[in-house]
Chain A
Amino acid sequence: MLPLDAVGHRPAFFEQDGMDQMLSIVLELAAEIWVVRERVFVVEAVLQSQGIAVSEAVEAFVPDAEQQATLAAMRASMTANMFRTLNREHRAVK
């Protein structure tokens, strides 16, 4: 196996414990988000090239009431999860 980590001490730029690691996590997440966004873009472009006008269909898409409720619940769950460390009640979030 080729090593993935450089040898040696990793410097800390922030005084607060965990902050340096937190930034690594955020940047890895950002990279993952970009990978997914680009993949969605590519999927749309591929479908488009096959004659399926998915980009237009996505833009014109209007969710029905049930779908709107599902999306609202997904958003609420994501927001609650994002801020769970700030929320003393976070254990209540499923």
Chain B
Amino acid sequence: MPMELLHELKVAHRQDTRARQDFVSALRGYMLNDMAAGMKQRYADVVAPAMAAQLGDRQPTQDDVHDAMKGDLYFKFYSSVRYNAQEMVWRSVIPGIEAALPAMVARAAEVQDRAGGTLTLDPTLAPPENVTAVDVHLMPGVYAAPDTPSAGAIYDNGLAVFSAGFMGRELDDIGMSMANYVRKRFPDFAPADILDCGCTVGHNTLAWARTYPGARVSGIDVSSSVLRYAHARAGSLGIAAHFRQMDATALDYPDASFDVVFSSMFLHELSVKDIKLFFAEAHRVLRPGGLLINMELPPNQALDPYDQFYLDWDCYYNAEPYYRAFRDQDYAGLTQAGGFAPEDFLQFTVPQYTYMSEEDFTEAVQRPAVIDGQTGRLSATLQWFGFGAWKR
């Protein structure tokens, strides 16, 4: 069975559609585990020796690996399957959502205020070019629909197919793993106000509310479509969260408003210039003793050239134009550009909270960060990566 969404905006997909979604998830699972392992072996056995012979004394860079792999038949099939699977994810959910949209809008109106959360839209906010110029991760019409929750619905349903079971039952494992990392690692830290930037449908925003039930949790995004959906989704799940349409590079909050500023899978959708603006804004709205924490892909400088190339596949072929430029950065340097002190930087890797016992997780958060080819990469041996900084 495909992963069924657990809230009342879920779409009742027909049997054949559910079977198709299961197929696409299984295809992705096979590609991300089996084909990825086969491709790495192919690289080690065939591609790398040939490349080394060509390069002589020079150590290969990620670009050398990419150039060498482009000619390899295994890479061509891997990439073609992965690209097609990405297209098939969206195509497996969009027609059903289109048919269900009027009922979904009516349902959203019924459930959105149930938990005491709020939605504040800003019709004057012009969507930035990074969300209008490309269909990011090949999602058709990615943030194009201002007046309907359709983009939110496509993202939520698509993520359920895309995640192939790696992101938790409410697609919130990233948020749960990050929030519980903070809770376990810093037990004396008791945030009262938490902000999730670039929150889309709020799936990870709500993880913070679950982890810190006493806190006031807010989420911002530039897209009104995903926020309409997020608001109703949170209402249906019975969690109070406060969603506002806002640009993370120009936050409309007073100084010292939050104890946590969080983002997940967000920075790699921004230019380096905008990341620095966002971090400066995060520094401004954090209270002294507050924490900036971002879940992201690991930095290229921590990985060998093959793993750099493997993770940056998305930049080359999945309509993620800023992905690599971000991953090429020194992450500590980015936080310093935002005004955080070098000694207040932190980074960590953390296993998936959803899929392990509380005891094992508690033990795991005490371990130092280990960044390798499994970090931040969807597979059966996934570890999430996080970094950020404390504000003095």
Contacts and interface: CB of A to CB of B under 8 A. Distances in A.
Interface in A25-47: 27-28, 30-31, 34-35, 38-39, 42
Interface residues of B, number: 39
B24 A31 contact: yes
A11 B16 contact: no
B91 A4 contact: yes
A89 interface: no
B140 A20 contact: no
A6 B138 contact: yes
Interface residues of A, number: 24
Interface string B326-353: 0000000000000000000000000000
A7 B135 contact: yes
Contact of A31 (B20, B77, B90): B20
Contacts of B322: none
Contacts of A13: 75-77, 79-80, 83
B20 A34 contact: yes
Interface of B: 15-16, 19-20, 22-24, 27, 75-77, 79-81, 83-85, 87-88, 90-91, 94-95, 97-98, 134-135, 138-142, 144-145, 150, 154, 316-317, 319
22 contacts: A2-B140, A2-B141, A2-B150, A3-B141, A3-B144, A4-B95, A6-B135, A6-B139, A6-B140, A7-B140, A8-B134, A8-B319, A10-B83, A11-B79, A11-B316, A14-B80, A20-B80, A23-B80, A23-B81, A23-B84, A38-B19, A42-B15
Per CB-CB distance, the 6 closest pairs between chain A and chain B, nearest first, are A6-B135, A38-B19, A34-B23, A3-B140, A6-B138, A13-B76
